[in-house]
């Protein structure tokens, strides 16, 4: 073990031993992060930077009250510990309830399967963005605006707690985003693509087809008719299925949302049926190789795979140690923070709907008039209501994919929509493009997955 790491671990152990008797729970989290950020808008370079960030935070809990103090100078750590303890003792007036976990001492790193982006020069990364910019512009003269964004980060985190946990964990994350806007007179259309990886830099290198497709969708949509707004039977592709299960259902499965909202907790009662017996929904960081994967969460709880819906029935939810303790359930390893500026909160990791048994071609059978939607353009959720915009769409007529249409938005109530799933396809796709936002912590990497779905009675927005 490197001497510097051993010195830091000894320092944290000494500090924990010195201060832990003053509170019910004490945790110190140190973080070192280095990364690259490049943003090109057309031919203009808006961001071109490499940076290193070093800091940490202290969390203290006393009689149910939490104190948090962050820092970026290790020399001030004792003052920050004093601050966190003082804050916790001021606000604490109940009982500290944390679901128990076994103390862990471990050093672990999420393995790369290929090139580490830290070995690639800033110049090479910029040249990759330049090439993708030229690809976007080359599709058609009506492409008026393009953007290409590249980001990578390497994080090394050390967690020490008053319960004896001492973990060092590290990982590398990469992401690219592409957008192209086409204009024809007053008609404007945009196409987008996003991809990410925690495995290898080369996963971002050979994306020519994907990049050009974003621009081509924008150009094609200029001349497409808008969909006629109505209620349709809809078939959605795996990318939209992944977006739906994450945004519309996953956030409602985060136990802090339910614990803080008695009405939602009543709706999300374990044992309640939400869909057919074929419906299975999971979340977990334990499956390796995805952007929401890790070995331990930011409280030192081991990663798990949690089944949320089994045979159409709600059987689980996502927890931090505090929410698990207060609801008398098992911790699931879903306490995550974006970086050392923030406290861990309950967050999804990799969320997916399990593949079904229906051949994809059969999902269209018997639909007299419907909509086939693929990819995503945008969306929003408000509690149990959702609205998503499809990246591309076609009408379904008499069981066949017919003419393409544009401006397709899908809206509904998530619980009714789960009940309205008529068939689940036998395909499956992992979408590694996710950057989740919650509680001001935006851009936390996640994975989403699912099969194609056939759903009845979906409100499709468009031209009336």
**In terms of C-beta density within 10 A (0-12 exposed, 13-18 middle, 19 or more buried), how is residue 271 classed?**
exposed
Kindly give the confidence (pLDDT) of every residue in the chain, 464 residues in length, as a single tens digit, with 9 standing for 90 and above: 345 567 888 999 999 999 999 999 999 999 999 999 999 999 999 999 999 999 999 999 999 999 999 999 999 999 999 999 999 999 999 999 999 999 999 999 999 999 999 999 999 999 999 999 999 999 999 999 999 999 999 999 999 999 999 999 999 999 999 999 999 999 999 999 999 999 999 999 999 999 999 999 999 999 999 999 999 999 999 999 999 999 999 999 999 988 888 899 999 999 999 999 999 999 999 999 999 999 999 999 999 999 999 999 999 999 999 999 999 999 999 999 999 999 999 999 999 999 999 999 999 999 999 999 999 888 888 889 999 999 999 999 999 999 999 999 999 999 999 999 999 999 999 999 878 999 999 999 999 999 999 999 999 985 43
Q: What is the largest CA-CA distance in the chain?
A: 73
393, 408 in Cβ contact below 8 A?
yes
**47 forms bridges with which residues in the sheet?**
39
DSSP code, position 355: P
**In terms of C-beta density within 10 A (0-12 exposed, 13-18 middle, 19 or more buried), how is residue 239 classed?**
buried
DSSP code, position 160: E
What is the reported pLDDT for 117? 98
What is the reported pLDDT for 462? 59
Other Cβ atoms less than 10 A from the Cβ of 262: the count is 9
Instruction: Report, in this order, helix, strand and coil percent for the chain, each rounded to 5.
Output: 25, 45, 30
Could you tell me the domains of the chain? 3-221 (3.30.2290.10), 230-461 (no CATH)
The structure tokens listed for 190 are 């945009």
d(CA 243, CA 434): 9
pTM of the predicted model, to two decimals? Answer: 0.95
The enclosing H or E element of 138 equals helix 122-138
DSSP codes of every residue in 365-403? TT-SEEEEEEEEEEEEEETTEEEEEEEEEEEEETTEEEE
């Amino acid at each position: 073990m490197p001497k510097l790491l051993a010195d830091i671990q000894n320092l944290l152990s000494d500090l924990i031993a010195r201060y832990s008797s003053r509170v019910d729970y004490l945790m110190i989290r140190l973080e070192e992060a280095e990364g690259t950020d490049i943003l090109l808008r057309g031919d203009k370079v808006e961001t071109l930077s490499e940076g290193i960030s070093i800091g940490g935070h202290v969390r203290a809990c006393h009689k149910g009250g939490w104190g948090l103090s962050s820092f970026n100078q290790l020399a001030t750590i004792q003052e920050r510990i004093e601050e966190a303890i003082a804050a916790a003792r001021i606000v604490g007036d109940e009982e500290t309830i944390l679901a128990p976990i076994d103390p862990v001492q471990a050093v672990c790193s999420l393995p790369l399967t290929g090139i580490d982006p830290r070995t690639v020069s800033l110049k090479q990364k910029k040249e990759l963005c330049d090439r993708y910019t030229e690809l976007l512009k080359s599709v058609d003269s009506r492409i008026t605006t393009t953007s290409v964004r590249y980001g990578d980060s390497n994080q090394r985190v050390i967690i020490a707690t008053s319960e004896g946990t001492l973990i060092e964990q590290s990982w590398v994350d990469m992401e690219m985003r592409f957008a192209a806007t086409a204009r024809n007179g007053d008609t404007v259309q945009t196409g987008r693509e996003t991809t990410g990886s925690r495995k290898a830099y080369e996963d971002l290198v050979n994306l020519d087809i994907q990049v050009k497709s974003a621009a081509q969708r924008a150009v094609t949509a200029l001349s497409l008719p808008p969909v006629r707004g109505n209620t349709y039977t809809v078939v959605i592709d795996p990318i939209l299925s992944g977006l739906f299960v994450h945004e519309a259902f996953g956030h409602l499965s985060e136990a802090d949302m339910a614990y803080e909202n008695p009405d939602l907790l009543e709706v999300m009662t374990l044992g309640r049926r939400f869909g057919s017996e074929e419906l299975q929904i999971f979340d977990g960081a334990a499956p390796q190789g995805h952007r929401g994967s890790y070995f331990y969460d930011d409280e030192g709880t081991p990663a798990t795979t949690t089944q949320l819906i089994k045979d159409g029935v709600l059987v689980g939810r996502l927890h931090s140690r505090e929410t698990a303790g207060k609801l008398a359930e098992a911790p699931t390893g879903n306490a995550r923070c974006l970086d050392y500026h923030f406290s861990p909160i309950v967050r999804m990791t990799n969320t997916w709907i399990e593949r079904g048994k229906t051949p994809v071609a059969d999902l269209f059978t018997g639909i007299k008039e419907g909509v086939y939607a693929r990819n995503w353009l945008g969306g929003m959720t408000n509690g149990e209501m959702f609205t998503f915009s499809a990246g591309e769409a076609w009408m379904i007529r008499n069981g066949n994919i017919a003419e393409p249409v544009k401006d397709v938005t899908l809206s509904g109530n998530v619980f009714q929509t789960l009940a309205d799933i008529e068939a689940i396809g036998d395909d499956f796709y992992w979408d590694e493009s996710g950057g989740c936002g919650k509680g001001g912590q935006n851009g936390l990497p996640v994975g989403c997955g699912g099969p194609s779905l056939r759903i009845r009675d979906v409100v499709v927005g468009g031209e009336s």
